[in-house]
Amino acid sequence: MLPKELERIIQLTKTHHKWRRTESLNLIASENVMSPLAEAVYGTDLMSRYAEGRPYKRYYQGTKYVDEIETLTMELMNRITSSKYCDVRPISGTIANAAVFRVLAQPGDEATIAPVQAGAHVSHTKFGTLGALGIKQVELPYDRERMNVDVDGARKVIERVRPKFAVLGGSLYLFPHPTREIAEIAHSVGARLVYDAAHVYGLIVGGVWRNPLEEGADFITASTHKTFPGPQGGAIFTNDESAYKPVSHNIFPWFLSNHHLHRLPSTAVTALEMMEFGGEYASQVVKNAKALASALVAQGFKVVGENQGYTTSHQVAVDVSKQGGGAKCAKVLEEANIIVNKNLLPDDPPERVSDPSGLRLGVQEMTRYGMNESDMQEIAVLFRKLLIDGQDVSDIRRKVLEMRSSFQTVKYTFPLEKDIVPTILALG
């Protein structure tokens, strides 16, 4: 007899897959779906192998094809990022940050970060990776009006502190940080600028978000699975060979040994698809975010960032304090198969982290399934019916199922040619 837990784990996996892939509206801003082709090349023997070190300089045998796959993946990622050097080994954006931070600063050194209200990620802070590395966090001042880094204040802080590096880029990230200005100030005191593009990397590649390297950043760190619709992973980019070398030499063994090789072909496929379709995809993402923001306002919601047109990214931040707060609203939405996350808004005190006043929405995944501005209107109506009118959750869930049934195929992709796909099943 097979163990009953076996049946349960298989059933749970299938149910989760069906729910999140076919029955719900996913508006989590940090998630996406890969193309069928990128997914097909994910499930191969590479998932079981090691290739410690860098291509052609490995500590393991059996890597001759991995070397070429990794080299080609780096070449493609450099091409779409307009960068000279990259490392695709970080297994997540946090690991990418850790590797760069640790090379740029020693324990006890200082780094300036964007204000938490302007979206700084936990890995930039004393509570996360920066703190774990023993690097001291100095927060730059906040410009409340523009929901951004206060550049004049930042100049004073950076000139006084003379940090080893500055970090920009964020998690609740509606409007671009002043990269050119902070790069110039950081460089004037000999500091490097790290731009964490975890959320917006796909928008940069798609040409709708300024490329931080072109604005003076020394490094881009990224996740490869948020607006960039690849496998879960991280990447590091730079144009500066002297900055690249120590990161590339130290990431193994400092921050990983196995770099999860099966990500590499999927990352390469995604890069090629972004070359072909990335412009169209990214501009639809931003159009959809703007459309969702305006539609939510029209339905009676308070959307953050009004004085700047609500958003320039894939995200929308909604203040739902009048509708019972972020925790409650996110839960009600989930019952109706609309998946979002509760989020601290810039004016929330940090203690409100488990019951913040906001919701963070991201439209990138639904855009991949082919939704456009009129679908955003429809989503906003569902939000109103559920959170303002208090309509029955099961009615709204039925409407979500009906709506989602016309969006089942991922767009902006190459076709999946069954006979060329080396999935584990096809290989036998």
Ligand X SMILES: *Cc1c(COP(=O)(O)O)cnc(C)c1O
Total binding residues toward ligand X, as defined by CB under 6 A: 14
Binding of ligand X at residue 263 (CB under 6 A)? no
Considering only the stretches 90-98, 174-182, 285-293, 350-358, report the one whose residues sit in contact with ligand X under the rule CB under 6 A. 90-98
CB closer to ligand X, 92 vs 238: 92
Among 89, 102, 121, 384, binds ligand X (CB under 6 A): 121
Q: Are 331 and 339 in contact (CB under 8 A)?
A: no
Instruction: Please tell me whether residue 53 binds ligand X under the rule CB under 6 A.
Output: no
123 binds ligand X (CB under 6 A): yes
Q: How far is the CB of 195 from ligand X (least distance, A)?
A: 10
Residue nearest to ligand X (CB): 93
44 binds ligand X (CB under 6 A): no
Burial class (CB in 10 A: 0-12, 13-18, 19+), 63: buried
Among 53, 93, 176, 231, binds ligand X (CB under 6 A): 93
Question: What is the C-alpha separation between 22 and 42, in angstroms, rounded?
Answer: 20
Nearer to ligand X by Cβ, of 255 and 281: the residue is: 255
**Residue 94 within binding range of ligand X, rule CB under 6 A:** yes
Nearer to ligand X, 199 or 368 (CB): 199
425-428's contacts with Cβ under 8 Å and 24+ in sequence apart are 425/43, 427/44, 427/45
Q: What is the spatial distance between Cα 173 and Cα 144, in angstroms, rounded to a whole number?
A: 14
SS3 58: strand
Shortest Å, Cβ 229 to ligand X: 14
Q: Cα(281)–Cα(163) distance, rounded to whole angstroms?
A: 38
Is residue 315 involved in binding ligand X (CB under 6 A)?
A: no
- Is residue 208 a contact point for ligand X (CB under 6 A)? no
For residues 101 and 109, give the distance between their C-alpha atoms in angstroms, rounded to a whole number. 11
Among positions 26, 148, 223, 367, the unique one binding ligand X when judged by CB under 6 A: 223
DSSP string, 347-398: TS-GGGGGS-SEEEEE-HHHHHTT--HHHHHHHHHHHIIIIIS---HHHHHH
User: Judged by CB under 6 A, does residue 284 bind ligand X?
Assistant: no
Select from 53, 163, 170, 202 the one that contacts ligand X (CB under 6 A): 170
Site of tokens 């938490």:
116
Residue 168 CB-half CA count within 13 A: 31
Contact call for residue 313 and ligand X (CB under 6 A): no
Binding flag, residue 92, ligand X (CB under 6 A): yes
Residue carrying structure tokens 């790069």: 183
Check binding of 171 to ligand X (CB under 6 A).
yes
Q: Integer distance in angstroms from the first to the last C-alpha of the chain?
A: 26
Q: Footprint of ligand X on this chain (CB under 6 A)?
A: 30, 92-94, 121, 123, 169-171, 196, 198-199, 223, 234
